[in-house]
Amino acid sequence: GENVEQHPSTLSVQEGDSAVIKCTYSDSASNYFPWYKQELGKGPQLIIDIRSNVGEKKDQRIAVTLNKTAKHFSLHITETQPEDSAVYFCAASLGGNYQLIWGAGTKLIIKP
């Protein structure tokens, strides 16, 4: 079955710098790759997603890139701000039912 690995488990960056989180997946048939942000004590919230027919997607300071050949996708956050501090999860699914396999999460710390 599908397996998703996420790195790093913790990432500390200076405010204003960029942050990159990477995920790899095992099933080449996976076609939907969302990223969720979980703030302390809250449930995860979708921040961006990408489908297999697209290589990159941007939304203001966040972007996701997908390399289908290498089976990995990455979340890029530019000009980081204190409110970006959270745990970020990647996930992958195949088929139309959107059953997600989740990465283990990355705790992003923004240093002032």
**Nearer Cβ to other proteins, position 1 or 112?**
1
Provide CB contacts within 8 A for 60, sequence distance 6+. none
Which residue ranges make up the site for other proteins (CB under 8 A)? 4, 6, 9, 32, 34, 36, 41-46, 49, 89, 91, 93, 98-105
CB of 86 to other proteins, least distance (A): 13
Provide the β-strand partners of residue 110: 13
**Nearer Cβ to other proteins, position 16 or 34?**
34
**Nearer Cβ to other proteins, position 71 or 78?**
71
Among 108, 111, 112, 83, smallest CA distance to 21 is for 108
CB of 102 to other proteins, least distance (A): 3
**What is the side-by-side order of every strand in the sheet holding 62-67?**
4-7, 19-25, 72-77, 62-67, 56-59
CB 64: neighbour CB atoms within 10 A? 24
**Nearer Cβ to other proteins, position 27 or 49?**
49
CB of 17 to other proteins, least distance (A): 25
